[in-house]
Chain A
Amino acid sequence: MAKVSRSPWLLHYDGSSCNGCDIEVLACLTPVYDAERLGIINTGDPMQADIFLITGGINTQNQAVVKQLYDQMPRPKVVVAVGVCACTGGIFKECYNILGGADTVIPVDIYVPGCAARPQAIIDGIVKAVALFQQRSEEHDRLVKEGGKGAAVNG
């Protein structure tokens, strides 16, 4: 049971997306793509999630929200920006209220391009994120071993 990569749970947050990417994220769970066969679950609760999936750009309204959701997730965690808006701000980039991509507030690990991102691409991005998740988990374990419990708390 050493591999945490077998159980990546997602938190899906819609920033200021046009909902195109969101539909595609949900499509991943349908029988055609069946993301659950990889152990992937869409939890909707940051406390229980490992991978943070953001669609849409960041605006002034949601930047604090995204930050808080990210903070509420227990370590180790990975962030995936889905769709071009979440990556860079996309076609809304020049809008008066848009600050940019998800990486303007939190560190993004994986960028999945596309407008909208296709399910295959999303699943591919998640698979990459899972590998990173595994790597981070091992780092986390090492930290715990080296620094005692305190490291895990602050790490």
Chain B
Amino acid sequence: MPEMPVIPFLICFPIVAGLLMFCIRDRKLANAISCISAIVIMAGVGVLVAQWLMGDREPIDLYVDTELVDHIILGAEIFLMGLVTFLCFKYKRYWISLLSIGPTLLVAYAELFGPKVEEAAHIHVDHMAILMCLIVGVIGGLIAIYAGGYLIGYHEHHKEVEDRRHYFMMLLFIFLGAMFGFVLSDSLMWIELFWEMTSICSFMLIGYTRTEEAIRNSFRALWMNLLGGTGLAIGIVYFVYQQESASLSNLVALGAIGQTVAVLPVALIAFAALTKSAQMPFSTWLIGAMVAPTPSSALLHSATMVKAGIYVLFRLSPAMSGNLTGTMIAFIGGFTFLVASFIAIAQSDGKKVLAYSTISNLGLMVACAGVGTPTTIWAGVFLMIFHAISKSLLFQDVGATENAIHSRDIEDMHGLLFRLPKLAIFMFIGIAAMFLAPFGMLISKWSALRACVDAKNIWLVVFIVFGSATTSLYWTKWMGKIISLSHKTGEKLKDMSTIRENASMGIHAVLMIVVCALFPLVSNVFVGPMLVETFGKEDQVLSTAVLVLLVAIILFVFAVPALSYVYGRSVKINRKLSYMSGINTGEDREFTDSFGDSKQLWLSNMYLEDIVGQKKLLVPSQVFSLAVLLVMLSLIIGGVLS
């Protein structure tokens, strides 16, 4: 068995680096250290992946005997409990502390006085873990680099917010460590700790500005995530007592062959994943999380943390395939996909659109996991990869744009292409990647639809079909806004983005295109073997002929606009004023009003507030999904008990 010292390094180094960052108050030094640490983390992931690819790519189990570490982990859990309780009392949200105290004591009791669990590996490295490490390491690292630059601009025009960037950077790095621990662990006890760590990091980041709104939203995020954590803890303890095992792979294996003992833990862990992935009815915390500075939105609330829930569901998918839990997860996911994409139409705040679209896309991934066939997981994994890259890019870009135009309202981004060309182009690439034809998201959606048809899941087919129509509506109108000429075109703006921000966004954009181009390779090297590991068989979703066709289309779709652009430049045209019933004053921006004065033209997108607004849809769909969730959970529990 090969030794992999890089694994403990990946988990511990970010935490140590984070603590170090907290201590250093010299800005230049701190910036340098954060940059270097991020690069070290990325290099670490590189080493891990290289070692893995060089080896025989079989799943590796490590660290069977870890009594000392187990105790440290228990200690850390109790420390976190204390921290949460302290903060809850400080801000007078007493009852929330119960959600932390209860599960922690439960887990501690099970560990100290419960049955002796059978010897098993605590770390499990396989294709899925490696893929998650890549996402967390590369995107997380880039966001950490971006964050250093972003906070400079942020604090420049948010004078009212206390400058605690050392605290912010610390949390970012600790979070990265926790994510690595989370995706690499196979021991449910370890998973529980890292799960809580991500929840609490997210909670503290949301409350960064310490405004009333931030505190309220952060506690909402906290209780929802802790509620999921409670479900997780109960599931784990139940499993430990029933089976005397604390191994996730063991649980999945038992679930996949339909053992009754696995039903309840799987359902509860899946429930926890729903909260973490912000599915209905728990989606409000992710919207509230948008008050935090952008890097945390990019890192936690789109690219990585919410993916933790998806990751767990993918792991559990063989155990959910075709049973009641799977049906529940698939339905909730599909429903969230549709409703969130509706609500996104009515948002004009760029970050809120991104948040709702994140929820919506996560819903699709959750649904893929719930169906739990190899083809749906294939589609889901690709959705996850593409979504992580493009969402991270978009969040960073909206953040940088906000620093320049002091607004993140989409209406204020009118003609951004002419005012901040670089940021507008990044934004364009990011949005295009979310729904246009040659990019991965659409291909993944296509295969998800196909897989759901194969799985004979009528509800999901309907959800996907209607959801993708509404999805393209809100993206298209945003893109249209960016490229429109006119009423704000005249203003010249100073691009505030620093080299670090640009580097991160540039790499993201390149990464996006490269992954699209290497689509078949990623499928063969990572996703295919992953399906073999998870399901014991691989379904070729895309035949070679289709892949060739796809590449051809990608080339064509890139080439056509490029060539027509060149052609368009060469054509000699006679420029005409735009048509305004003959009263255009001459610049396409103003018209003559009835008093003979010139009046500025102001064009706005439609938002259909009265029809699909948050006010109108959110509460009913929360109630509905909560009802579905409760009924299904009681059915599952009732089925086990009877």
Kindly specify which of B273-281, B503-511, B578-586 makes contact with the partner chain.
B578-586
> What mask results when residues 489 to 526 of chain B are scored 1 for a CB within 8 Å of chain A, else 0?
00000000000000000000000000000000000000
What is the minimal beta-carbon distance from B581 to any residue of chain A, in angstroms?
A: 7
Chain B, 540-584, CB within 8 A of any chain A CB: 572-574, 576-577, 579, 581-584
Cα–Cα distance between A45 and B592 once the two chains are bound (Å): 19
> What mask results when residues 16 to 53 of chain A are scored 1 for a CB within 8 Å of chain B, else 0?
00000000000000000000000000000111000000
Check if A47 sits within 8 Å of B576, measured CB to CB: yes
User: A-B pairs with CB below 8 Å: how many?
Assistant: 34
Cα–Cα distance between A72 and B582 once the two chains are bound (Å): 9
User: Taking A64-B582, A65-B582, A65-B583 as contacts, is the C-beta distance between A71 and B577 under 8 angstroms?
Assistant: yes
Task: Answer whether residue A107 sits at the interface, using C-beta atoms and an 8 A cutoff.
Answer: no
Least CB separation from A155: chain B residue: B574
Assign chain B's interface to a size class: 10 to 19
What is the minimal beta-carbon distance from B205 to any residue of chain A, in angstroms?
A: 53
Check if A68 sits within 8 Å of B574, measured CB to CB: no
Chain B, 218-244, CB within 8 A of any chain A CB: none
Task: Answer whether residue A115 sits at the interface, using C-beta atoms and an 8 A cutoff.
Answer: no
Check if B579 sits within 8 Å of A72, measured CB to CB: yes
Question: Which one, B574, B576, B581, contacts A65 given CB within 8 A?
Answer: B581
Residue from the set A13, A47, A72 with the largest chain B CB neighbour count within 10 Å: A72
Chain A, 1-19, CB within 8 A of any chain B CB: 13
Cα–Cα distance between A65 and B582 once the two chains are bound (Å): 5
Least CB separation from A149: chain B residue: B572
Least CB separation from A66: chain B residue: B582
User: Taking A74-B574, A153-B573 as contacts, is the C-beta distance between A47 and B579 under 8 angstroms?
Assistant: yes
Cα–Cα distance between A143 and B489 once the two chains are bound (Å): 36
User: Which residues of the partner chain B approach A149 to less than 8 Å between Cβ atoms?
Assistant: 572
Check if A68 sits within 8 Å of B573, measured CB to CB: no
User: Taking A45-B579, A46-B579 as contacts, is the C-beta distance between A68 and B572 under 8 angstroms?
Assistant: no
What is the minimal beta-carbon distance from B490 to any residue of chain A, in angstroms?
A: 21
User: Taking A47-B579, A71-B577, A72-B577 as contacts, is the C-beta distance between A153 and B572 under 8 angstroms?
Assistant: yes
User: Which residues of the partner chain A approach B573 to less than 8 Å between Cβ atoms?
Assistant: 153
User: Which residues of the partner chain A approach B572 to less than 8 Å between Cβ atoms?
Assistant: 149-150, 152-153
User: Which residues of the partner chain B approach A46 to less than 8 Å between Cβ atoms?
Assistant: 579, 582
What is the minimal beta-carbon distance from B164 to any residue of chain A, in angstroms?
A: 57
User: Which residues of the partner chain B approach A72 to less than 8 Å between Cβ atoms?
Assistant: 576-577, 579, 582
> What mask results when residues 127 to 155 of chain A are scored 1 for a CB within 8 Å of chain B, else 0?
00000000000000000000001101110
User: Which residues of the partner chain B approach A65 to less than 8 Å between Cβ atoms?
Assistant: 581-583
Check if B583 sits within 8 Å of A71, measured CB to CB: no
User: Taking A64-B582, A65-B583, A68-B582 as contacts, is the C-beta distance between A153 and B577 under 8 angstroms?
Assistant: no
What is the minimal beta-carbon distance from B369 to any residue of chain A, in angstroms?
A: 52
Check if A153 sits within 8 Å of B582, measured CB to CB: no
Cα–Cα distance between A154 and B584 once the two chains are bound (Å): 21
What 8 A-B pairs have minimum CB-CB distances, sorted nearest first? A65-B582, A68-B582, A69-B582, A149-B572, A153-B572, A72-B576, A153-B574, A65-B583
Binding site for A on B (CB under 8 A): 572-574, 576-577, 579, 581-584, 592
Binding site for B on A (CB under 8 A): 13, 45-47, 64-66, 68-69, 71-72, 74, 149-150, 152-154
